[in-house]
Chains A and B, each alone.
Chain A
Amino acid sequence: MIGLDVGRLFAVARKEAREYRRTPFIIGAMAVLPLIFMINPVITIFAIGATVKAATVSKAVGATFLVLLVVPAIIPASIAAYSVVGERDQGTLEPLLTTPVRRGEILIGKALVAAVPAVGIAYILFAVAVILAHFFAGNPTVAATLTEGSHILAQVLFAPLLAVWSIGVGTAISARSSDVRVAQQLGTLASLPPLAATALVSFQIVPLGVWTAVGFGLGLLVIDIAMWRGVVATFDRERLITGSRAQRARGVGADSHEVRRIQA
């Protein structure tokens, strides 16, 4: 991943953005899914009466919080799962790989365009939930709970980390898959496990505080880094084109002409 060229990375990202813009299914999914995920928070906000105890409010807000965190995990999953196998399917992968672009530039360029809208939408949904709670909730504790420092910190930290996980695992599946539909189904499924960690916080099995949020954030970060190292290893030019990985020659000697796997 060292020596990334910003120009090439930007070229990949711009291409991805242009393709998404012209794909109604992707735009439609990005628009509709968040609206669906807003239904629960809105009902929660309006359903909590003025006399409901603070502990109950806190539990309800925790559940809302988890629903909001599903968005950055789910939205980019199918996009990432399409990213490599889709290119192979339409015959664009080989011409792309014949250029000087490095695998890190392809992966990050694609990931950025999937991550930015997902994280942006997650933040917007959280902001909308806070605004609705502030102005329309029957119980003032709802807005106060949502805007606690630890909640905001958790939202800010977890949303991008969940998106990065989802995109990474989706891309890895995409690079190994030969069928777009299978890749998208597996990608969506594989995006969910980290939500189990956030569920511990949301359902107050682990009490949410600033340091808990930071701790969980660091944990997700470590998992993301390890997973992306695997993704980079999976993204092998030869495997992507031929379906098998390069084999090294045996018997190295003066005339053996050993050539190692070409990788950049």
Chain B
Amino acid sequence: MVSHLTKRFGDRSAFEDVSFEVAHGEVFGFLGPNGAGKTTTVRTLGTLIAPTSGSAVVAGIPLSAATGAEIRQLISIMPENPGLYLRLTVQENLELFAGLYGLHSPRARIDAALETVNLAPRARDLCGRLSKGLRQRVGLARALLSDPLVMFLDEPTSGLDPVASRDVHDLIAGLRQRGVTVFLTTHRLEEAERLCDRVAILNTRLLDVGPPEQLRMQLFRSSLVVETAARLPAPEAVFTPEMGVDTWTREGDATYVLSVAEPRMAAPRVTRALVAAGADVVSIAVSHHSLEDVYLELVEADPEAGR
């Protein structure tokens, strides 16, 4: 739980009055443009830097001067750059972190973490000789090592090829099933849409929080896109409130975008009305706004956006 959290560096606000809650086992997306304060928020919640004001509870422990080490024991953070010791092997990197977390049976935990990210055969390779994708996987194995309650993943698929990204997505889906709370910072909106139960959009201030579908509903009315073989002679006679249509516009020669409250109810009625009016219907579809549309709508409407 985060309440009115603010971090300032001198006169500059990294983030301001941010409040939200993340449920246990939830995959929570954190979106925002560059410089929006996402990484600083993660660092603050990860007890690396202190908030200027506000409060937070992380992994069930209030964020305070005295609880930093206790919180860090229960969470793990994977920065965008995995930050591996390149002169050490994969296993030696993990042995260090197993030691820092004070893990019992470190060898078994290391083996399990490497198995999870499909890196067991590369355990004895020097990290400096691994590709970027493999280093990212070592970073993930390191984050998994302590079996954390909360995982902060900062751009986990940055620079990865599609296959490696899919593996990471599968891994995050697996974490959800295991009940791990995942705090995912990403620029990839399709990734957030696919993986996250809820997303927060930050631009120094929190612009909105909610499930992607709910944000879409809040920002965009549902609409139907109707294409006919020829331009309708009297569309106003077909696209009426009785059909469930609030407003309509024509796009192109014979394509109409209808604003409707209930697409599932309006679509059959409109289809019947079009047929009754003698129109040849080429297609009728529910218009789908992506999370990207939501993001752009919120960020571009934000007065901070131009700064």
Contacts and interface: CB of A to CB of B under 8 A. Distances in A.
Given A98-B76, A262-B49, A15 B55 contact: no
A15 B10 CA distance: 36
A252 B10 CA distance: 19
Contacts of B4: 257
Interface residues of A, number: 42
Nearest to B96: A15
A95 B142 contact: yes
Contacts of B9: 242, 244
B102 A247 contact: no
A238 B7 CA distance: 12
A42 interface: no
A15 B50 contact: no
A90 B54 contact: no
Interface residues of B, number: 49
Given A19-B88, A100-B100, A256 B83 contact: no
Contacts of A246: 49-50
Contacts of A96: 83, 100
B48 A241 contact: yes
Contacts of B49: 237-238, 241-242, 246, 262
Contacts of A102: 69
B99 A90 contact: no
A99 B97 contact: yes
Nearest to B4: A257
Nearest to B40: A242
A101 B76 CA distance: 13
A23 B76 CA distance: 29
Interface string A28-64: 0000000000000000000000000000000000000
Interface in B10-58: 10, 43, 46-55
Contacts of B86: 90
A contact patch SS: loop
B99 A259 contact: no
A264 B68 contact: yes
B220 interface: no
Contacts of B276: none
A260 B83 contact: no
A24 to B, nearest CB: 11
Contact of B83 (A18, A22, A90, A261): A90
Given A7-B99, A95-B83, A238-B49, A259 B72 contact: no
B1 to A, nearest CB: 13
Nearest to B102: A7
B8 interface: yes
Interface in B66-81: 66, 68-70, 72-73, 75-79, 81
Contacts of A23: 87
Interface in A120-158: none
B137 to A, nearest CB: 15
13 contacts: A15-B96, A22-B87, A92-B83, A92-B84, A94-B79, A95-B79, A95-B139, A98-B72, A244-B9, A257-B4, A259-B65, A260-B50, A263-B65
Given A11-B100, A18-B88, A99-B100, 6 more contacts: A95-B78, A237-B68, A238-B49, A244-B9, A260-B64, A263-B65
